[in-house]
Structures are given as C-alpha cells and as structure tokens.
Structure 1
C-alpha cells in the first residue's frame, strides 16, 4: 500500500536494495519531548480557561488559542523529531506538504478544544473525539514523513505503524479526559496534577512520533552508494524552532495565568459588589425596621424624631409655624379585649389609612408611636389650620368600620402644640402635645385641645406631688386620718365613724383626697395608700377601745383598683390581728361602679372579706349603675345614699320620693341605710320620718382628727341623755358649725368625701 510515496504494507524487496541504518540526535530528541510536554501543559491550561470563561466571546478566543498551542506544539515536536533524525543520505523537506501537516494538526487540535468546551462531555463523546484526533495526529505525522525528499524509498513496518496510530488515539483520549477532569479546581494539588498530566501526555505524543519513526525503513538501490554528509544546520534549526515554540507556548500560558488572575479579581469585585449590595439592602431593611412601624408602614417614633428635628431647624431659620398633634383612639383596649389582638391590628391599619387620607400627603408627617397612639407633624400659617385638620381627622374617624363581622365607629382624642408658641425643641412640643391630649381625654374624649401653660403647671405640680406622696408613704410623715361621726337614729348615739384621709403637705397645707387620690391611682400608689389607711384605722379603733369606745365601728373606703387584688382579704385580716380589733367593728365601703367593674371576681373577694366578719357597705348608691339585680347577689350589710339626693330636700319632691323608695327597698333586702350629706334639720326630720337608720353630715360634725374626736362624741351622746327633745336641735350651736353660716342652704365643701373619690 502506497500513500504519498510511502510504503505502509508493502514487503521489503528481497534483493538489489540497501537498507540504511539511521539514528537520532539525543539533544533534539530531549528538546522534542520538552516541547511535547509544554504543549500538553498549555493545552490543559487553555482547556481550563475555556471552562472558566463566562462570555461566549472569551470561550471562542481561548478555544482558538488552545488549538493553536496544541497544534503548534505537536507539529513543532514532530518537526524537531524529524530534524533529530540522522540518515547517511541527503534529505530535503517539501514545504507545501509540511504546511499541510500543520493544517491537519490544527484541525485535530480545534476538534479537541471544541469537545472540551462542552459543559459536561460524555465518555462516548470523549472516545469519538479521541479517535478522530488520534487519526489526525497520525495523519499529521505521516504527512510530515511524506515531506522528506531523498534518494531512498520509505517503507514502514505494519505492526509499528499500527501501534503508533493506537498510541495517538490513546494519547488523545488521555488528553481529553485529563483536561476535562482538571478543568475545575484550584490550589497546589491541582497544579501538581496538571504538571504530572502534562509530562504523561507529552510522553504519549512523543511515543507516538518515535514509534512511527521506528517503523520507518529507508531503502536504496543496490548499486547506489550512500552519501555521508556532515549536516550541522539541523541542530541549530531544531533548537530555534523549539525556542520559538516554547516562547509562544509560554506567552499563551502567561496570558492564561493573567486572565485567570484578572477573572479572580473580577469575581472578587463582583463578590464585593454583591456584598455591598446585600449590605445596602440590609442597611435599608434595618433602616426600615428602625424608622418604620411594621404594622401600619408609618414611620415610628425614632424616624419621626429625626424628621421633626430637621423641620424644626428649617422653620427656625426660615420662619413659620409647626403643629404637633397627638392622637389616641378612644377605648381601643376594648377591641383587643373583646375581639382579640388580630382584630385590633386590623383596626389600627384602617385607622392609619383614615389618618393618612386626611392629611396633605407630601407636606405632613404621620407616625405611629406605639399601641393606639399616633402623631402628626404639619406646617401651617395659623392655628386654625391645625384645628381644621384635627376636625377633619375626627370626622373621618366617624366613618363606620367593618371589623370581625361587626360595624363599628371609633373616635379619637387629639392634643395639639404649636411651634414656636408652645416650645422650641422637639421634647417640649411633644410633651406639651401629650399634655393637651391628656386634657382631651379628661374632658370626655372625642375632642381636641390646644396646649396652654396651665396644663404644664398642673403637670409639674402633679409630678411634684407624686414624688412627695411617695416620700410621705415611705416615711409615714404627713398623712393622717380624719373621722366623721355616723349617728344612729334608733339609739340616738354615734355608733360608726367614717375614716377619711388627709395629707398635711409641708407647703400647700392640709390637702383633701381630691388633690392626691387620682395621682396615687395613676402612679401605682393606691394599694399602698389604701393599706396605710386600713392599718391606721384599725390602730385608731384599738386606741378608742382603750378609752371606752369599744362599741364604735369604723367604715373604711376601698379604692376600685384594690378590688381586683387577691391580697386584699389577707391585708384586712393582718391589720385587724395586729391592732387586736374584732372584725365586726370594721366596715368596708365600696362604690357601685367599683362593684360592677368585674362582678365575678369582685363577688369572690367580697365573700372572702365577709367571711372574716367584716361588714360590707355600698357607697354613693344611686350615682352608678343602680342595678337591683346585683344587690341580692352581694353579701352587703349597709347601703349609703349619696348626698346628691339629699341636698335639695325638702324643696325637691322627686328627690324625697327617690330617697324614700331606696330606704324601703333596702329594708326589704334586710339592709341598713346610711344617708350622707345631711346639713339641715329639715333633712334630718325627713329622714327620721322615712325610717332611715343612720345619718352623716355637717349637721352632726365636720370630720375631725383622732385627738379631737372623743369630746365631740361625748358631747353628742350626753345631749341624748340630758334632753328629752331632739339632742340635735338643742346642740345646733355647738355641734352643727355649718349652721352658723349665714347661708345655710349653700352646700358646704364635702369634707366627708371618701378616700376614693374627689370632694364634691
């Protein structure tokens, strides 16, 4: 078989031929192996770059560079190997055929790089490509062999020829598989594997070439004589080709390394940019969380304060007015208690939308401070603008809201402060708006109020009184009890006393309960204050017993807030035991409204107290719920008629009829009746005729301290024994100081007010 003048399968002639002995230059053989290894390393590096390239353009570029490096390296190794071939005849090389062999190598290398460009090439693809590439490399080699021009005829050993083709295919498969395996990875171990693979693949390519050269036999005619030439240019040319090839491969490897570093920097830059983007998103999220309310998406207190400070500085420079509005939803707690917090949250969203819909969207700031409290900041020219907006919000709030299958209408209380009239700092304006809101709620809710200086003075005074009340309770200094006699009409004697607290203030003098009870209730002091009154009343009752008043009872008023405390029964028992007083001599007074606040729990507590032996009295009857249904359920002993029904007797016929009806009803329920606020003889005589059991009021005596009490009691009781007529008539001048007033019909200050309600 002859191809391009080469004898592949033809047998050697038996005679008339001379077989030439050929050899190879060892240095060029070594250089050829180094070039093959360099080409293999460059090919692996280029394959790695193709796998890491992210843009199609970059992939195509590195694919062609890799193909050129592989083709150039294989071809240069082959060319250097041919230059290393030494024969005793003159050998020349045909340039077109040589270049054609380079083209074959380039096509085979391009096919190899194309296969390595696949993201996940299969084993079958590797085998098919290795077959084509191996045949291409073998074709390149033997085409290059065909470029040799000499007087000798080239014959090839069929076995070695076939082996060289198999080595080419095997080396191609190994190159493809190793390149695909090493395409991913990094680090020192990865580089060591790549160097080792380059040496092995270079050996495969080198072995294929020299196996093919070993299959070559040069035959001369028998009459021909070999011409021994001393060619020295082959060594120089081979070294030059090797140097140029290595420089090209080195440049390609350097470019790949630079691109790899650049790509790593780009990756790092992208990671940094991604991290910066995530940090920006996190910062924005944190800012959203820090400055905005998650439920209503309104700004919160922190965000409001920042905007408020900026607008305040702007107005201070440019001039103008600002209004701060505090809004509080009236009775919002009822929604949470009755419908649940989810319904309350849904309602807050609707209310937030109502408020936002009532303000100027771009100029005004709406914030939620927490719970059901909202705040609005608006710029304005006069205070009437603030009033108009507040009224608009209140009108918007009156629109019915569908919630949890119910149709409801909510109202709001609003407090307003103005810059610069009511303050020049954020803290001042917010505090003053809050004081105005407090006034709106105290005035019955569903209203608006502007701040005024009186509110600040009152708040300052209340704060000071709170601090001083704490000190008075802690030091037990300044607090005292006054006692007002309760006269029993049947026996004509004082059989009860009502304990009434007073505070001897070091600056403001003697304070009645209306000045400090609400402060105690609003600041968590009422339980301690009530307990102090209880203990002092029991102690004073023990003192009275030691002076012969061992039949007197003391009525003690309990705060409505205390009726929710389970410890109350134990505190009463401890106070009685400490003072050595019988429980029957203590009477607990509670108001109607206090009883009805939580009737179930209150009923349990009152039964515990009643089980101790303590009497129970309902105070201010007729001013609260006045429900007859609960009277039969409560373990009561006494019913006290409020002074508002007595004050106009005998001029008010309706009041007289009401009082008579209450007395009859109470007696029907086996309850004793006490009427408070009795100030005239006409009132006394009416109550006596109506069958009232006890009276209390200025007709008997004002409340007096303990050290003044016994003379008053002795004088009232002595009058009963020394006069057959009514003792009160004979003792008017002595024991009814209110009657000395030139205007006895005018209601005197109700010094007999209880601890839990203001003086009327």
Structure 2
C-alpha cells in the first residue's frame, strides 16, 4: 500500500549527492485550515446529535450521509488548504485524479465516524475499532493527497513523525467518538457549548495530524536544482476544487445549523407536547379513577357501577345467563358516626368494603353507591347461588371489628333482585333490589330478602299515600284530633285529654298514626303535621273553655324529629299565641327524643316551660333513662308505658316495677300517669300504689272531642260512674 501511495522513508534515500529542500507554510492559510477542520467537526457533532434522536430510518440515513459529507469535506478541505499553505523552493503540481481519490477516502472515513457517533451507546471495543478505521482512513486520505504532488524532487518521510501522525489520527478519531457520546448524554442546555469546545478540540487534533504528517515530509532533489519559491503550477485548479469543497462544507454547515435550530425548536416543542400529553394521560387516568372509583373503599362508585352494570347486563342478555343484584346496607351505621366520629365511620366502611370483596368471586362487581350503601352484581347459574352468596356475605360481615380501640359486631341487611325475572333493565333491577332491602330492614335487619311483585304494589301504595298525606296536611280537611281522657285518681275527675291524630282517608277510611307518621318523618313534613296538631289543640282549648272546662288540659305528642329542631320553642309560642291559657297545654316526649343530646334537650325544655307549657315523658320504662338523667330534665309528668300495666294485677314483678317507678317519680316531684288501664283490677292496684292519674279503655277509647264532652260534662265524677257501670 505504501508503495502504491509513493511513501518512502529517509532510510531508503540513495547515498548519492542529494539536496533536501527547505519548505515553509503560509501562516494565514494554516489558521484557515484549522478553522475549516473545526467547522467540519462542529457540523458533524451537530448532525450526529440530531441523528441520534431521529426515529425514522430514512431521515436518520439522510442525516448520517450529510454528516459524513460535512466531516469528510472539512478534513479534506483542511488538508488541501494546508497544502496550498505549503511553500516549496521548486515548482510543484498536483494530480487531480489522485486528489479526487483522496476525497473519496475522506468520505468513507467521515461516514464511518458519523455512523459510530450516532449510535446511542456504542461499546468501548466498538469505539476503539472505529477509531482505528477512521484514523487510518484519515491517514490514507492525507498521504494519498500527498501522493498527488508532482515536482522535480522526490518525497521521503521521517519514519518517527510518520508513525506519530498515524497515532494522532487514531487518537483524534477516538476523542471525537467519545466527545460525541458525551454530548449526546449531556443536559440540553449544555450541549451547544460542549459542541463548540469539542469542535475546537477535534479541529486542533485533525490539524495536528496533518501538520505532523507535513513535518514528516522531506523534498529531496538531485544537485544542481534550479531553486525558486513558487506555488503549484495547477494551483488554480486545486484552489477551485478546494474552494468548491469549502463552499460545500460552509453551505452544508449553514443548512445544518438552520436545520439544527429548527430541529431543536421542534424537539423542544415536541418535548413540551409530549410532556403535556403525558400529563394529560396521567390527568385522564386520575379523572377516570375519580369519576369511576370511590377513593375511600377503592371500589366502583355509582357512575362506574352504572357502566359496569350496563355492560354485564348486555352480556348476560346475549348469553341467557342469570344475574343477581344485591343491595347491602350496614345496620345502624349512623350510631358509629354519632358516637365515634366520621373517621371511625370511614374506617368501618373501608373494612366492610374489603370484606364484601373477599366474600365475592373474582368476576363479581362490587361498588359503593354512597354512604353505607353497597351493591354487588353476581352471575348466576340458578337462584340458589344468589342465596348462598348473600348468606356468605351476612356471615362475613358479622365477624368482630376493632375500631377506635373498641371491639364491636356490625350486621348487614341485603335486598336481592334477579335478572331476568325481576326486570330486564338496570333501573328496574336496582329499584327492585332497593325495595327488597327496605323490606329486609323492616323485617328486623341482619337478614336478606328477595324482591317480589307485592313489594312494588306496596311501594306504589306508599307513594300514593305520601302524596295523599301531603294534600291532607295542606288542606287540613281530612285530619282529625281524637281525645282520650286522663282521670285524676284522688278526685275522680277528668283533668286532661290526650290529643291523638287521626286521618280520615277518602278510600282507606280512618287511619291511626302508626300508618302514616313514618311516611311524614321519611318525607320531611312531620313538622307540618305536628304544627297542625298544635294549632288544632289550641283551638280545641278555646272550645273547652267556652263549654265550661276551664281547668281541663290537653296533652300533645311531639315527634323526636320535630323536637330536634332548634325552632320548636318559637313555633310553640306562635301557635299558642291564639290560646287563652298556655298553662293548659302539655307536651309529651319520648325518652329517646330527650336523651339524644341531653344538654340541648334541657335548654330547649326550659325555654318551652317558660312559655307556660308543661312537659311529660311518654312511654317511660321502654327506653334507657337513668335516674341521673331524669333528675336533670325539667319535667312535670311521667307516663308509665302500658306494657307494665297489662299484667299488673296478676304479676308480682310488674307490680314491683310500677311501684318503683311511682316512688322514683315522687322523689323527683313528678306526677305519674298510668297508660293502658282496661279493667278494675288494674285500677285497684294503681290506687293502692298511689298512682296520680290513669287513662285507658276502662274510661274511654280515643274519640272526637264532642263525644268526650257529651259523655263527661264539666266536673263529672268520672271514676265513680265508671266503677258503678263496671
């Protein structure tokens, strides 16, 4: 190869008389050659950086080709500008064909270099091998270019400097590959300055190789030789070629710089767009979770449940399989929130959700629809599977739970509807499962109930009854007050009348409160109902006064929900403003209503008593009253529940309980009324025990006020008449 390139070393020089010519370089052309080398290196690094981030194969190959052309053009232009800077004392010329061949060698070396530069993570061995190939290619380009030199002298090389130039070429190639890799992995804001610095270093290394090779060159001429400091004979041709290559490099560099800037901008835009897309995907996933999953229990929420239920129903409709919809409700969940706080309630719901999930099959759908209400969708082979799954749920939910440091047992009520017999739409199945759940709660809770068509009929009746009751309250024409006398035992006279609400329904006839009070409480118009009772009782008090019953009191029941209202004292004051004597009205309250919030109840009762209204505690003995609570409450009357009076004549235990209640009431300065007195034997025991007042069927059933007044005129000895008639 060296013979083909005309490479001879000084040791090969003949011993005959020879003249070694002294040569030098034009300084400004040397500087220009270095700048060309640095420019070509900068372009190659820029293109390699862009090419490494290009995913499309066609575009990547195009950039690699351009990068190879720029690097090769920079090296080749630097070489021949350096040759033009080379000043000899004899005339020289250049073989253009060999010069162009050296350009092809430079192109091959540049392409190999750029190919390795654009690899994302080349191994060290790959880099070393590539550096050797590229370095040898640069040397081949350099020395083939030197072989194009024609002069009346022969070229001999210094072996040491020749070897050093090859080492510099390989070292410069390795440094260029490492710099390209380092720039590729550097932060975006540092890349531009790193490319500037790397280009200067690479340009210096390439120029160093060239001028080391030139330093190794010796022009040897036979004596005598005509010496004259001349430029090459065909320097114009060489200059045109070099200028063309240089312009090509400059053009490519400008194009690459412009394209690089655009690509940088596009990359930054793409990065921002990609970042936004990633953020949008994350936000979409988050919104999807928020939209379809309950954050507390990590189960489907109502929206996600509706989607999943619709899909499951469509699937089961097509394959003809059955489907069970199970509504679950935690029994007495409100007590947990009220006693232990909402954090404990949330913890309980989370535990319950995990238990429901663990009790069901993997294919079953579990959702929390809100509050303590859960729903399960389960595929069925037959209806017995629904029964088995529901029983398993009941048992799993009854396992002990430790919350807020307390061990407790919670139960669940379950309502079940089955597809297709109970409905073929999502709305129908959910509605029917909800009706079944309501029936399970009415049956005592901690049980399950399947939907039946009778539940729909009953719900329809309840809905109609609700609307009828609303109309009845608004008009007030169908509502009536019945009264039951309360007899004072010492005097034997009627001292009070208990007002009991009745509803004369146009189709269903006379309805007692048990039939419609629950509807009023559930639908939020119990306060209107109580207000009507108060107004009517106040009006009846005026009638009683006009008919001679000037001392007779009316006692009115107040619902627990109405008593919970802070506006109750103001409502009573407004209603009683039309009554002539507030002292003749008594308000009856149950134990549970009074003890829900004792301090608030005491304050409210004091405000009501300040209006002249007396207070009675109704159905005493059926709740959870303690002596300490009773002592604090501002009460006037204590009414013993009828359940203690029924067998008072025959049961020693019942008599002792009633006696204890009477003694306790005496200690608290309370009057005692015994409810449900139906025969003389009960009456006799109560008289013996010192009970103050009695009421019951022995004296009268609840009847309209006019009937009571007709039977018992003012100052009538009711007790004597009843005893005589019995």
Give TM-score, length-normalised by structure 2: 0.72
Given that residues 35 and 246 in structure 1 are in contact (C-alpha distance below 8 angstroms), is that contact kept between their aligned partners in structure 2? Answer: no
Given that residues 81 and 242 in structure 2 are in contact (C-alpha distance below 8 angstroms), is that contact kept between their aligned partners in structure 1? Answer: no
Aligned to 1:45: 43
Distance in 2, matches of 1:116 and 1:658, equals 99
Distance in 2, matches of 1:452 and 1:405, equals 42
In the TM superposition, what are the counterparts of 1:277-288 in structure 2 within 5 Å? 279-288=280-289
Cα displacement (A) at 1:579: 1.0
Aligned to 1:728: 722
- Cα separation, partners in 2 of 1:88 and 1:462, compared to 1, 3 Å: same
In the TM superposition, what are the counterparts of 1:149-164 in structure 2 within 5 Å? 149=151
Aligned to 2:125: none
Aligned to 1:586: 585
- Cα separation, partners in 2 of 1:72 and 1:614, compared to 1, 3 Å: same
In the TM superposition, what are the counterparts of 1:661-680 in structure 2 within 5 Å? 661-680=660-679
Distance in 1, matches of 2:409 and 2:113, equals 81
Asked if residue 471 in structure 1 is aligned to residue 465 in structure 2, the reply is no
Given that residues 33 and 79 in structure 2 are in contact (C-alpha distance below 8 angstroms), is that contact kept between their aligned partners in structure 1? Answer: no
Distance in 2, matches of 1:548 and 1:446, equals 55
Aligned to 1:711: 710
SS in 1 for 2:627: coil
Distance in 1, matches of 2:517 and 2:619, equals 17
- Cα separation, partners in 2 of 1:528 and 1:94, compared to 1, 3 Å: closer
Given that residues 71 and 105 in structure 1 are in contact (C-alpha distance below 8 angstroms), is that contact kept between their aligned partners in structure 2? Answer: no
- Cα separation, partners in 2 of 1:403 and 1:364, compared to 1, 3 Å: same
Cα displacement (A) at 1:555: 0.5
- Cα separation, partners in 2 of 1:238 and 1:599, compared to 1, 3 Å: closer
Distance in 1, matches of 2:403 and 2:287, equals 32
Distance in 2, matches of 1:618 and 1:76, equals 117
- Cα separation, partners in 2 of 1:90 and 1:548, compared to 1, 3 Å: closer
Cα displacement (A) at 1:345: 3.1
Distance in 2, matches of 1:367 and 1:729, equals 65
Aligned to 2:124: none
Distance in 2, matches of 1:728 and 1:90, equals 155
Cα displacement (A) at 1:554: 1.0
Given that residues 64 and 115 in structure 2 are in contact (C-alpha distance below 8 angstroms), is that contact kept between their aligned partners in structure 1? Answer: no
In the TM superposition, what are the counterparts of 1:44-83 in structure 2 within 5 Å? 44-54=42-52, 65-77=69-81
SS in 2 for 1:524: coil
Q: Per-residue displacement from partner, 1:599-653 (whole Å, max 9, x unpaired)?
A: 2322222222223332111211232235334333322222222223333464555
- Cα separation, partners in 2 of 1:288 and 1:676, compared to 1, 3 Å: same
Q: Per-residue displacement from partner, 1:231-273 (whole Å, max 9, x unpaired)?
A: 8x76456435644665577578768877887898788778766
Aligned to 2:220: none
Aligned to 2:133: none
Given that residues 80 and 241 in structure 1 are in contact (C-alpha distance below 8 angstroms), is that contact kept between their aligned partners in structure 2? Answer: no
Could you tell me which runs of 5 or more consecutive residues in structure 1 were left unpaired when the two chains were aligned. 11-28, 118-135, 152-175, 213-220, 733-738, 740-760
Could you tell me which runs of 5 or more consecutive residues in structure 2 were left unpaired when the two chains were aligned. 1-9, 14-18, 120-137, 154-175, 215-222
Cα displacement (A) at 1:676: 2.4
Asked if residue 693 in structure 1 is aligned to residue 682 in structure 2, the reply is no
In the TM superposition, what are the counterparts of 1:238-253 in structure 2 within 5 Å? 238-239=239-240, 242-243=243-244, 246=247
Aligned to 2:306: 305
Distance in 2, matches of 1:319 and 1:52, equals 60
SS in 1 for 2:376: strand
Q: Per-residue displacement from partner, 1:13-51 (whole Å, max 9, x unpaired)?
A: xxxxxxxxxxxxxxxx99x99999987765543232244
Give TM-score, length-normalised by structure 1: 0.69
SS in 1 for 2:632: coil
Given that residues 609 and 615 in structure 2 are in contact (C-alpha distance below 8 angstroms), is that contact kept between their aligned partners in structure 1? Answer: yes
Aligned to 2:624: 625
- Cα separation, partners in 2 of 1:599 and 1:223, compared to 1, 3 Å: closer
Distance in 2, matches of 1:430 and 1:230, equals 100
Q: Per-residue displacement from partner, 1:209-235 (whole Å, max 9, x unpaired)?
A: 9xx9xxxxxxxx999899x9998x764
Larger-Rg structure:
1
In the TM superposition, what are the counterparts of 1:168-247 in structure 2 within 5 Å? 235=236, 238-239=239-240, 242-243=243-244, 246=247
Aligned to 1:531: 531
- Cα separation, partners in 2 of 1:116 and 1:44, compared to 1, 3 Å: farther
Given that residues 92 and 150 in structure 1 are in contact (C-alpha distance below 8 angstroms), is that contact kept between their aligned partners in structure 2? Answer: no
Asked if residue 439 in structure 1 is aligned to residue 439 in structure 2, the reply is yes
- Cα separation, partners in 2 of 1:681 and 1:270, compared to 1, 3 Å: same
Q: Per-residue displacement from partner, 1:552-600 (whole Å, max 9, x unpaired)?
A: 2110111122332222222222222x21433311111112232233323
Cα RMSD over matched residues?
5.6
Distance in 2, matches of 1:527 and 1:422, equals 37
Given that residues 479 and 502 in structure 1 are in contact (C-alpha distance below 8 angstroms), is that contact kept between their aligned partners in structure 2? Answer: yes
SS in 2 for 1:630: helix
Aligned positions, number: 646
Distance in 2, matches of 1:436 and 1:637, equals 44
Given that residues 296 and 348 in structure 1 are in contact (C-alpha distance below 8 angstroms), is that contact kept between their aligned partners in structure 2? Answer: yes
Cα displacement (A) at 1:404: 3.5
Asked if residue 392 in structure 1 is aligned to residue 378 in structure 2, the reply is no
Q: Per-residue displacement from partner, 1:394-430 (whole Å, max 9, x unpaired)?
A: 2222333333433333222222121222222222221
Given that residues 75 and 102 in structure 1 are in contact (C-alpha distance below 8 angstroms), is that contact kept between their aligned partners in structure 2? Answer: no
Cα displacement (A) at 1:514: 0.7
Cα displacement (A) at 1:101: 13
Distance in 2, matches of 1:322 and 1:98, equals 84
Distance in 2, matches of 1:620 and 1:476, equals 28
Cα displacement (A) at 1:146: 12
In the TM superposition, what are the counterparts of 1:508-527 in structure 2 within 5 Å? 508-527=508-527
Cα displacement (A) at 1:513: 0.6
Given that residues 35 and 242 in structure 1 are in contact (C-alpha distance below 8 angstroms), is that contact kept between their aligned partners in structure 2? Answer: no
Distance in 2, matches of 1:94 and 1:682, equals 144
Given that residues 586 and 614 in structure 1 are in contact (C-alpha distance below 8 angstroms), is that contact kept between their aligned partners in structure 2? Answer: yes
Distance in 2, matches of 1:643 and 1:530, equals 23
